[in-house]
A and B are shown apart, each in its own frame.
Chain A
């Protein structure tokens, strides 16, 4: 079946089997370029390695039908390259040694990006609980969760400081 999506800001037409998952179409093609940041993990909606944004909301692309994306916007890490918030998150993960094998990193980054974007829009700063809740769907078997949470906390604090400075400058 034909599926029309806005992938990372660009209109794309996919040819996909009716039972295909969003993960399989994004990662395996046949259309190029393949979004290899979207990892195949559990394929049961538990590990979060395949997390992408569907209309700005995080989803496990392994348990979402490709056809579900028809007429909607899909965002992967590839589409957020160079985005200041994503760049800050990536730098913070590296700085806090929150990346080891890296398989969970794209999913974690998508989840954290969504959280911080949402908090910024609401004018709030996420606390420990909100960060852990946002990462609740992303399993990591290398570093664990302390370092990713510390990285996200650091970025959130920077964003809050920038927000205060901007408010002061006005």
Chain B
């Protein structure tokens, strides 16, 4: 039983932040609540943000994709605006999270604000240059998603509210693919890799390689990206891709735990990065969950 003193229901974004700041004691925002009820944090009150108008998914006139922080994983997995964006990279990540009843209430904001190193949506969003919109009582701020996470279960928020995530229209046309290694489909990921490439004629424009479960926070392998970005596709032979994959494996900072060793995780970052780069360059947008541990046979 979660010993809460008060359940506050906010009617607007401003009211939600005010309710959070008001005290007394410690408060937590709640949307779907599927993570909070697993490990109820010690706090005095929660602020329900289900009724503040943050569950929308929309394309702006400029073609950017905006996903409200209270949009559910089921909505994100099935909304045509998301399934049709960058090969459906984000919707596939949402579809592989938890099970159907969890996805009914679990939200993208909760997945990000819970800030686990294995957050299911983080690699896909990082690979598409996601920008976070954050509200305070009377101001708003936006910042790149890679600056949002400050450590395991820690973010920059400090009482402020994540309002939503925006992906630029340009990234909607990127080719992308992702893999998520797990022991069983529902388990927390051992290793996550998402790759997105802007294909500009015979050349790669932007290149993004995002990793999850292999560092204190979801991260980008920027040194590896630099080896691919701006290159002629003809120059990206298997040796070059293997080099990039090895660099990505060097960039991550995995730990040993009961799910996998750091050594295995690092090895798999290399294997998956190499395969995903190759498959994206070949035009495939495979976002299958990868629950078969086939990486071990590489």
Q: Which residues of B contact A62 (CB under 8 A)?
A: 37
The verdict on A57 contacting B74 (CB below 8 Å), with A67-B9, A137-B99 known, is: yes
- Asked if B185 is at the interface of the complex by the 8 Å CB criterion, the answer is yes
Q: Which residues of B contact A137 (CB under 8 A)?
A: 98-102
Contact B4 A18 (CB under 8 A): yes
Of all chain B residues, the one with the shortest Cβ separation from A133 is B100
- Asked if B2 is at the interface of the complex by the 8 Å CB criterion, the answer is yes
The verdict on A45 contacting B1 (CB below 8 Å), with A58-B104, A70-B9, A133-B100 known, is: no
- Asked if B195 is at the interface of the complex by the 8 Å CB criterion, the answer is no
Q: Taking the nearest CB of chain A, how far is it from the CB of B32, in angstroms?
A: 8
- Asked if A90 is at the interface of the complex by the 8 Å CB criterion, the answer is no
* Interface residues of A, count at CB 8 A: 30
Q: Which of B7, B100, B186 contacts A1 (CB 8 A)?
A: B7
Q: Which of A19, A63, A65, A134 contacts B1 (CB 8 A)?
A: A19
Contact B1 A20 (CB under 8 A): yes
Per the 8 Å Cβ criterion, residues 50-83 of A in contact with B are 51, 54, 57-60, 62-65, 67-68, 70
Contact B37 A21 (CB under 8 A): yes
Bound-state CA distance A60–B104 (Å) is 9
Q: Which of B7, B34, B38, B102 contacts A18 (CB 8 A)?
A: B7
- Asked if B192 is at the interface of the complex by the 8 Å CB criterion, the answer is no
- Asked if B46 is at the interface of the complex by the 8 Å CB criterion, the answer is yes
- Asked if A136 is at the interface of the complex by the 8 Å CB criterion, the answer is yes
Most buried by B among A70, A134, A136: A136
Bound-state CA distance A18–B45 (Å) is 8
Q: Which residues of A contact B105 (CB under 8 A)?
A: 54, 59, 63-64, 68
Per the 8 Å Cβ criterion, residues 99-144 of B in contact with A are 99-102, 104-105
Q: Which residues of B contact A60 (CB under 8 A)?
A: 34, 101-102
Contact B101 A51 (CB under 8 A): yes
Q: Taking the nearest CB of chain B, how far is it from the CB of A26, in angstroms?
A: 14
Bound-state CA distance A27–B185 (Å) is 29
Q: Taking the nearest CB of chain B, how far is it from the CB of A139, in angstroms?
A: 10
Contact B104 A65 (CB under 8 A): no
- Asked if B6 is at the interface of the complex by the 8 Å CB criterion, the answer is yes
Q: Taking the nearest CB of chain B, how far is it from the CB of A52, in angstroms?
A: 9
Contact B104 A17 (CB under 8 A): no
Q: Which residues of A contact B45 (CB under 8 A)?
A: 18
Query: What are 27 residue pairs bridging A and B, where the CB atoms are less than 8 Å apart in the complex?
Result: A19-B4, A21-B2, A21-B37, A45-B37, A45-B102, A46-B186, A48-B99, A54-B104, A54-B105, A57-B74, A57-B104, A62-B37, A63-B34, A63-B38, A63-B105, A64-B32, A64-B105, A65-B7, A65-B37, A65-B46, A65-B48, A67-B9, A67-B48, A111-B100, A134-B100, A136-B185, A136-B186
Query: Measuring CB to CB, which residues of chain A are less than 8 angstroms from any residue of chain B?
Result: 1, 17-21, 24, 43-46, 48, 51, 54, 57-60, 62-65, 67-68, 70, 111, 133-134, 136-137
